[in-house]
Amino acid sequence: MKRCATLFLSLALVLCSWQDCQAGPISIVVNEYTSSDDSFTTGQLLAAKATFETQIALWTGALSDPKGGPHVTVTISTVDFVSLALGNGGSTVGATAVGGLPGNVTKIKISTNTDMFYDTGTVPKDQKSAATVMLHELGHAVGFNYLDSGDGYQKWNDRITGNLFDMFGTNVTMAGAKDDANGLSHIDTSYAANDLMNLTIGYGPSSVRPISQLDLCMLAAAYGYQTPYDCPEPGSMTLLGLGVAGMAGYGWRRRK
Ligand SMILES: [Zn+2]
């Protein structure tokens, strides 16, 4: 009896180390935190870095890669806290993510101007949550990203026709139509107001936004991530081929 149990255990261990067996967490690695803003002190930079790491944990805790290892790793070359001009009267959240696709190097800039609220507590009505801006830019890094790069890695674009993102039969309206890179990376407020991935997040307490089920399900549709939610799935014609992935998802949910 004891021998049987040992044999079963070692067999399981061998199989798991061979192909890593099951779904695993994605990881987001930042190579360097800097500040191009001379007025941003070292202490502020360290605090901002800590806040950024917290936002990373929210994404990596919400998305899982269905494959056996190695799993998706997003490498961010630099996170720069910089004094950015908020152009067009607040039509931008004051930060940009460049070149972000899962696995690709991404540069993220987060504004340090007075619109941004870096403290803890309630966000004043004339400021925006810096933590939410960080979370939003990380959303681009993990896949909310229209890239007309021509490199064959067009998983996000491939789901979009006009300004509609096809989430396996559910059409999500994006904030812009074809060739509007900025618009295609954001969910339109007419479809979902107060979403983390809207083009703007506004001011005050409502600028604090969590990662939504919609955000996660769209990423799942484009890249095959697994999430804690029941997301729309491919039609029945393709279900057969995805049976193994479905079982991996079951295992991941059980481990929660
Ligand atoms: Zn954005």
Tell me how far the alpha carbon of residue 48 lies from the centroid of ligand 1, in angstroms: 19
Reported as a pLDDT band with limits 50, 70 and 90, residue 100 is low
68 CA distance to ligand 1 centroid (A)? 30
Residues 6+ apart with CB under 8 A from 112: 35, 37, 39, 40, 44, 81, 82, 83, 84, 118
For residue 129, the CA-to-ligand 1 centroid distance in Å is 14
Ligand 1 centroid vs 96 CA: distance in angstroms? 7
Per-residue pLDDT at 95: 60
At 70 the pLDDT is 79
pLDDT at residue 126 in the model? 93
Res 27 pLDDT > 50: yes
Whole-number Å distance, alpha carbon 200 to ligand 1 midpoint, is 8
Mean pLDDT lowest among 104-118, 157-171, 204-218? 104-118
What is the whole-number distance in angstroms between the Cα of residue 44 and the centre of ligand 1? 23
Cα–Cα dist 192/201, whole Å? 12
- Judged against a pLDDT cut of 70, whether residue 9 lies above it is answered with no
Nearest to 187 by CA among 220, 151, 144, 148: 144
> What is the whole-number distance in angstroms between the Cα of residue 122 and the centre of ligand 1?
23
The three-state secondary structure class of 152 is: coil
Q: How far is the CA of 82 from the centre of ligand 1 (A)?
A: 16
Q: For position 43, what pLDDT does the model report?
A: 96
pLDDT(163) > 70: yes
User: Residue 256: pLDDT above 70?
Assistant: no
**Please, what is the average pLDDT of the chain?**
79
What is the model's pLDDT at position 86? Answer: 53
How far does residue 140's CA lie from ligand 1's centre (Å)?
7
For residues 76-103, average pLDDT? 63
> Cα(184)–Cα(161) distance, rounded to whole angstroms?
10
How many whole angstroms from 133 Cα to the centroid of ligand 1?
8
% residues pLDDT > 90 (the chain): 43
Q: How confident is the model at residue 156 (pLDDT cuts 50, 70, 90)?
A: confident
Cα distance between residue 138 and residue 239, in whole Å: 31
Question: Which pLDDT belongs to residue 2?
Answer: 43
pTM: 0.80
At 223, list the tokens: 């890249």
Q: Per-residue confidence at 45, pLDDT binned at 50, 70, 90?
A: very high
Contacts of 206 (CB under 8 A, 6+ apart): 194
User: How far is ligand 1, taken at its centre, from the CA of residue 67, in Å?
Assistant: 28
